[in-house]
Amino acid sequence: MCETARGGQRFNDRRGFIGAGNRSRSRAGDLPPLRRFAAVVGRPDVDPDDLVQEAFLRTLQVRPLAELVAPAAYLRRAILSAANTQRRRFGRTRTALQKLRGSAPCAADAEYPSDVAELFRLSATERAVLFLHDVEGYSFEEVGGMLEMSNGAVRMAASRGRRRLRSLLEEAES
């Protein structure tokens, strides 16, 4: 499946960019870390590859990857933005369905217990910051650069995320 982006570049799921030159094809090494990042910040029912592809398409509509100073950081920010958009869209859909049902939750909406279910109750930004800092080992300054956030905002998101995760885990134990 190919889709055309601005500038005549076409994105192909399996082979990368067609007609974009060798510089864009070298970005294929960035895909596994981007997929992991998308899996962390995205909803559990959304394929991480869909978020990565959406980020590539959004980015290529603005400018070619070769013009970006830090393409991986720019793509992480685009993935986070796409994940937030999908979360909002899902929330609006869920609210509309509950209104149609008369506010009675359906048995199909019941969540199955999971070891990571509490992580998905954090915002996508909090998950992104915690993943990049605690799992990938980036400094707060590097995370701020990747997500276009100030150092203080990154530290606050990490603090809120940890505090919220701690209270969710304590609540689940009791």
Q: Express each pLDDT in 81-137 by its tens digit.
A: 999 888 888 888 888 887 778 755 554 444 545 556 778 888 889 999 999 999 889
Same domain, 68 and 41: yes
Same domain, 77 and 127: no
Same domain, 96 and 148: no
Lowest mean pLDDT among 59-73, 97-111, 153-167: 97-111
Which CATH number covers residue 141? 1.10.10.10
Instruction: With a cut of 90, say whether residue 140 has pLDDT above it.
Output: yes
* pLDDT at residue number 153: 95
* pLDDT at residue number 56: 92
Place of tokens 């974009």: 20
Same domain, 153 and 120: yes
Lowest mean pLDDT among 27-31, 33-37, 45-49, 66-70: 27-31
Same domain, 94 and 134: no
* pLDDT at residue number 88: 84
* pLDDT at residue number 79: 93
Residue type, 142: E
Q: What is the dihedral of CA 159, 87, 44, 78, to 10 degrees?
A: -80
* pLDDT at residue number 72: 87
CB 117 within 8 A of CB 148: no
Euclidean distance between CA atoms 22 and 13, whole angstroms: 17
CB 51 within 8 A of CB 90: no
Confidence tier at 43 by pLDDT (50, 70, 90): confident
Euclidean distance between CA atoms 67 and 118, whole angstroms: 39
Q: Of 78, 106, 134, at which residue does a domain stop?
A: 106
Q: 76: how many CB neighbours lie within 10 A of its CB?
A: 25
Q: Of 84, 106, 128, at which residue does a domain stop?
A: 106
Q: What is the pTM of this model?
A: 0.63
pLDDT, the chain, mean:
78
> Which secondary structure element, helix H or strand E, spans residue 113, and what is its range?
none
Q: Of 90, 106, 122, at which residue does a domain stop?
A: 106
Domain residues for 48? Answer: 1-106
* pLDDT at residue number 105: 54
Using one digit for the tens of pLDDT, what is the confidence trace for 68-79? 888 888 999 999
Domain count of the fold of the chain: 2
Spell out the residues 6+ positions from residue 125 whose beta carbon is closer than 8 angstroms to its own: 80, 84, 147, 149, 157
